[in-house]
Amino acid sequence: MKSAVWKRAIKDCADPARARHFLELLDAALKTPREGTRPTAIAQVSADWLQNASAEQAEILAALFSGSNAQSNLLLANPEWLSSLDPDALRFPRRKQGLRNELDACVRPLREGRDNAAAFGQVRRFKEMGMLRIAARDLARIAPLPEITQEISDVADVCLESVWETCLLQLTAQYGDPHAEDEKGQWYLVTGCVIGLGKLGGQELNYSSDVDVMVVYGEEGKTIQSSQSTGQRPKPEARNPKSELRTVKFKVQSSRLKVQGSKSSPLDPRPSTLSVTNHAFFNRLVQAFVAELTRVTPEGTLYRIDLRLRPEGDLGPLSRSLEGYENYYSQWGQTWERMMLMKARCVAGDEGLASEFLEMIQPFRYPRSVNPRVLHEVAAMKDRIENEVVKAGEIERNVKLGRGGIREIEFSVQSLQLIHAGRQPFLQNSQTLPCLEKLAQYELLTAEQSRRLAEAYVFLREVEHRLQMEDNRQTHTIPSGLGARTRLAKLMRSNQTSNTNAQTPNTKHQTPEKLQTSNSKLQGNLKLQTPSSKDAVELSWFENALKAHTASVRAIFDSVLKAEGAETEQSPGDAGGSLPFPSQFAGFDAQWMSFLTGHAFRDPEKALRLLREFVEGPGYVHVSPRTSELALQLLTKMFKLCRRRSHSPAPRLPGSPVHRLPHAPRSTLHAPRSIPLSDPDRVLARLDSFIGAYGTRSALFEMWHHNPAFFELLVLLFDRSEFLAELAIRSPDLVDELVSSGRLQQRKRSDETLRDLRHGLEDADQHLWLRRYHQAELMRIGLRDILGLADFEQYLTELSALADACLEYALEAVLRRRRIANAPFAIIGLGKLGGAEIDYGSDLDVIFVAGAKARSMSSLIPLAAEVIDLLSRRTGQGIVFHTDARLRPDGEKGLLVNTFQAYEQYYLHRAQLWEIQTLTRARFVAGDQETGRQFQELAGRLTNFSDRREGSRSRMRTKTTESRPACYSPDWKQNIHKMRLRIQHERTPAGKDDLAIKTGVGGLMDAEFVAQVLCMENGWRETNTLRALELGRAEGALPDAAQFISSYRQLRRAEGILRRWSYEGETVLPDDPAPFYRVSVRCGFRTPETFRKAVTEWRRKIRSTYLKIFK
């Protein structure tokens, strides 16, 4: 071709001579169609591509010809595929579902016609055509590395799916479908799946990768001939009932379909003469599957399949049941297998079964605690690999296994995942580049280290791709010959500059000189030698860049293993001391029963069973002697927290100073022991559940041994809060992360919480993100309270800050989804939210106030409703806060959103006195700040019932106006008193006034009414109850202020301890003796009687002052 377009494209490519040669061959092939090809189609392709090619079209083809001998020959053999290389078609990646649909349309008719050989041939041609397209996108720099590896992996997934399904149909036609029998004698279908590992599992496949897989099937059983004989397999009509009975070690749920009464179709249990066991069936399926994928045919070979990563390698069976894998990994799994399974995912077969498998292995591949010695195993693995490379003389030239190569990047990432991802679920990612970003976000790598590794990974993977694309050969070794190395350098150089839209790390678009400067920062001063030719410049740049990247990778790899492996192991004997209880169980029942009774266990017999399982493990799990020894040492710590019946602890009133801890280092966390366990039986049961949820008993006990304060923290947590205990059992990583990160020592303001919440603005499921974050914060605040790290006022402040941030975030998320720039209304908090005194289980009382320039209310009401829904809707993760807008004008009948002017007119002319009283706690929380400010000023004016005498000492007095609300009358205080008495009568449960610590006589509501009346009477603007009472003391307006405030604090603290148990907002003490006893102990009292007397005295003092205020 002599056109200027082709001349320029060939001149600018990495290998002009080769590009020119293949272009001439293609021109000849198009002019001489091979047999079976329509000449008119070839001529049309020729006219479209070669005669009238655009500059972009010519550049794509020249890049392909210069970069890959194998792909060039493939195009020559199939010139009709040239049309698939159109720039518009290459501009975007093909999605997996589209690939699947295209292949299925070709294969399904052949499969249904039983022409399986032709079906397999279509898969091979589909794969070759897909790889040609991907190679063109890659060499022409249309797509970055992550997009290329994703597409290669998607093509592999689709091909494997198709071959698996065809092979499955072949075997079921011969042997029938695999089934298993349930306890009732009914048969249900058993399925299988292919789990991708390695680069396929991580969706990082290269051009000539081995495809690492293993095969899982559901249950043991046998095949049963089906009466159906179509090309499609029958769908399963029942699910495996055993999937719901899995051991607590690996909890999974079946995703298969369940029989619905009479709609089930029982299968004939009589096997055919060709019936085989499920194990034999799936092993034969694997053999057929691998044989077809590796078969050499005229259409080419699909993939090299490697099954050696399965349990027991070459000596192990080709497939196993779920139970077989579970038994192997729980008993024999090794460190390298943990790392290998981090990339596991379903690539073919039953996705529901694959999900069960992945959930089952989750505690194994991402353990929550790992002995630091495993990093020595990682280093030893790398040393063994490196020694093999040294023997081959490739230590500096092998970009995968050599020094500073791809494997060291992968080992660095996976080592950090192994140590931390069990406690940090966001690190559980199978892909290298995204995981590097997350490791930097969690400060497990510095930003600089993450950047260096990412740039090196992209560079080395692209070198690997150029090596493999040349002849479609599995190689990772840079050639030793000068000409071949120079050609590779030019391919990489072209790779760096051809397309300015490629989105890869910083080295992507730099010139050799600029990249040399950048790389010199990574390795020191690497200076280009003065080149004698352009080729010498390219080669010098490439070799210097390679040295810089590999040196950087090796340095970080060494630092990761050294830093993470610095911990030393402690012997369980270091816990010290002889055991105060029998060290064995058999034959010691009497001694144990006496010991447990003496330590306040209500049901010693049941407790003994749980203790035995704690030490010796359940019958189906083998527990090592070391694990049992650790368990006994841990029980010593738990029993020290139990109440001894012969030695009652000294009482500690809830209002007395809380035991404070010094700021502990991150590795230690001391739990206060001043209050004994209120219910050791429940604690023991919760520990048993937590161990089951955690998954790996030995690893958990090792972690508790190394950090005994963590164990004591959990014991206290399980005793002090049922809500938090269940949350910890559902999500053990929440507590684990709090302890390891040191965030328990942190006090957070609402702006800090909001900043954290905004990290989830991009999440598709905002309900899920908000609830997970809310649960994590509830755990942090609750533990700070339980451990004495936050006093009564601090935890109320932090819960209120959390509520403020959640409201503001919910509004931001709604506005962002609707693409609204500015908040059209203000959210005003009332009640405990307005007073910034949110307690456990508190509702959020809010009203929505629009500004004067607001649009019609009909357009704003859905926004407010969506904010409420985001916070209040009950999902599988629960709710965030129950948000209540019924305190708005006219209650539920009123508009959810109304203008400021409408609110002002309502409060001035129609509001009742109690509605004005609620405004004493009105506070702007989120949204339009100007409207919020105006409303707060309005609330101040409306609640100012002072006589406006001059010379008042209060600096908190609000401005007054000429008018008061219509509900005002000179006897307004008596009207509020009557309202309080009515609440006392109507809301206090009959016969339980002595237990109703909020609404009963002298309850918390007395103190709140006192605070609000003081503010109204004196014109103060203070929304917080305690601060208003303190202001009353400072102003001399509160009789018996010291004892009143002290009694309020202690009663409010008792309420918090009560509410912390279930987060349900209880305000009535339990009347049953057993739970009343537990509340008494948690409040620090020796007996329930002393607690009851204390509560009565606090309430007497509160009511006494209340009556003086309302005299």
Do 464 and 470 contact (CB within 8 A), yes or no?
A: no
Query: pLDDT value at position 72?
Result: 92
List the structure tokens of 402: 């050599």
Which uninterrupted H or E stretch holds 701? Answer: helix 697-706
Mean pLDDT across the chain? 83
- Residue 35, pLDDT score: 58
| Cβ atoms of residues 467 and 488 within 8 Å | yes
With 50 as the cut, is the pLDDT of residue 341 above it?
yes
pLDDT of 706: 83
Neighbours of 421 (CB within 10 A): 26
pLDDT band for position 45 (50/70/90)? low
CATH code of 760-768+794-942, in short, is 3.30.460.10
Q: What is the pLDDT of residue 46?
A: 54
Interatomic CA distance for residues 891 and 702, integer angstroms: 57
Confidence tier at 234 by pLDDT (50, 70, 90)? very low
Q: Which two tokens stand for residue 535?
A: 């080729």
What is the residue extent of each domain of the chain?
A: 144-365, 374-527+539-549, 596-648+658-745, 760-768+794-942, 972-1109
| Weakest mean pLDDT among 19-33, 466-480, 490-504 | 490-504
pLDDT digits (tens, 9 = 90+) for 160-169: 999 999 999 9
What's the CA gap between 2 and 51, in Å, rounded? 10
CA neighbor of 611 nearest in space, from 641, 581, 635, 579: 635
pTM, two decimal places: 0.53
pLDDT in tens, 945-998: 997 534 444 445 554 445 689 999 999 999 999 999 999 999 999 999 999 999
Contacts with 1097 (C-beta within 8 Å, 6 or more apart), sequence order: 1047
What's residue 134's pLDDT? 96
Please state, in angstroms and rounded to a whole number, the distance separating the CA atoms of residues 526 and 687. Answer: 58
Q: What is the pLDDT of residue 265?
A: 31
Buried b (16+ CB within 10 A) or exposed e, 869-892: ebbbeeeebebbbebbbebbbeee
pLDDT of 269 higher than 90? no
Contact 761, 862 (CB under 8 A): no
891 DSSP 8-state letter? G
pLDDT surpasses 70 at 528: no
Cβ contact 179:188 at 8 Å: yes
Q: Which two tokens stand for residue 63?
A: 């890049």
Helices (runs of H) and strands (runs of E) counted in the chain: 43, 13
CB 346 within 8 A of CB 196: yes
pLDDT of the residue at 204: 95
Q: Using one digit for the tens of pLDDT, what is the confidence trace for 886-917? A: 999 999 999 999 999 999 999 999 999 999 99
- Least trusted range by pLDDT, from 112-126, 246-260, 854-868: 246-260
The 8-class DSSP code of residue 50 comes to: I
Q: Could you give the CA distance from residue 1002 to residue 1000 in angstroms, rounded to a whole number?
A: 6
Under 8 Å CB-to-CB from 925, ≥6 apart: which residues?
Answer: 804, 807, 808, 827, 828, 829, 833, 846, 932
Dihedral (CA of 594, 600, 602, 603) sign: negative
pLDDT recorded at residue 33 = 64
pLDDT in tens, 273-282: 478 999 999 9
**Does the pLDDT at position 606 exceed 90?**
yes
The alpha carbon of residue 975 and the mean position of all alpha carbons in its chain are separated, in whole angstroms, by: 53
The domain covering 374-527+539-549 belongs, at the CATH homologous superfamily level, to Nucleotidyltransferases  domain 2 (1.20.120.330)
Instruction: Return d(Cα 514, Cα 493) in angstroms, integer.
Output: 12
Are the beta carbons of 1013 and 971 closer than 8 angstroms? no
The CA distance from 175 to 274, in Å, is 5
Q: Which whole-number Å values give the CA distances from 1007 to 229, 997, 1003, 1045, 1047, in the listed order?
A: 80, 11, 7, 9, 10
Pairing of strands 210-217, 883-884: unpaired
Does residue 1080 register a pLDDT over 70? yes
Q: Decide if pLDDT at 1055 tops 70.
A: yes
Residue 518 pLDDT: 36
Residue 376 has pLDDT above 50, yes or no: yes
Q: Token match 């009292």: residue?
A: 1085
Which pLDDT band, with edges at 50, 70 and 90, does 595 fall under? very high
Dist CA 300 CA 117 (whole Å): 13
Dist CA 324 CA 219 (whole Å): 9
Domains 144-365 and 972-1109 share a fold: no
Return the residue matching tokens 């000189």. Answer: 513
C-alpha 851, offset from chain centre: 39
At residue 392, the pLDDT reads 64
Q: What is the DSSP letter of 924?
A: E
Residue 566 has pLDDT above 70, yes or no: no
- The token pair that represents 1048 in the structure block: 């309020």
Pick among 1.20.120.330, 3.60.15.10, 3.30.1490.20, 3.40.605.10: CATH of 972-1109? 1.20.120.330
Of 432-441, 536-545, 767-776, 1037-1046, the range with the lowest mean pLDDT is: 536-545
Band (814; pLDDT cuts 50, 70, 90): very high
User: Alpha-carbon distance 197 to 156, whole Å?
Assistant: 12
Query: Using CA of residue 1065, residue 1068, residue 1072, residue 1077, what is the dihedral sign?
Result: positive
Degrees, nearest 5: CA angle 58-62-63:
115
pLDDT exceeds 50 at position 665: no
Residue 381 has pLDDT above 50, yes or no: yes
Tokens, residue 957: 């007095």
Residue 94 has pLDDT above 50, yes or no: yes
Q: What is the dihedral of CA 1023, 1027, 1032, 1034, to 10 degrees?
A: -140
Distance CA 826, CA 903 (A): 12
> For residue 578, what pLDDT is reported?
52
Q: Tell me the mean pLDDT in the region 214-223.
A: 95
- pLDDT value for 104: 94
The CATH code of domain 144-365 reads 3.30.460.10
Q: What are the pLDDT digits (tens) for 299-309?
A: 778 999 999 99
Q: Work out the average pLDDT over 614-637.
A: 80
The whole-number pLDDT of residue 228 equals 39
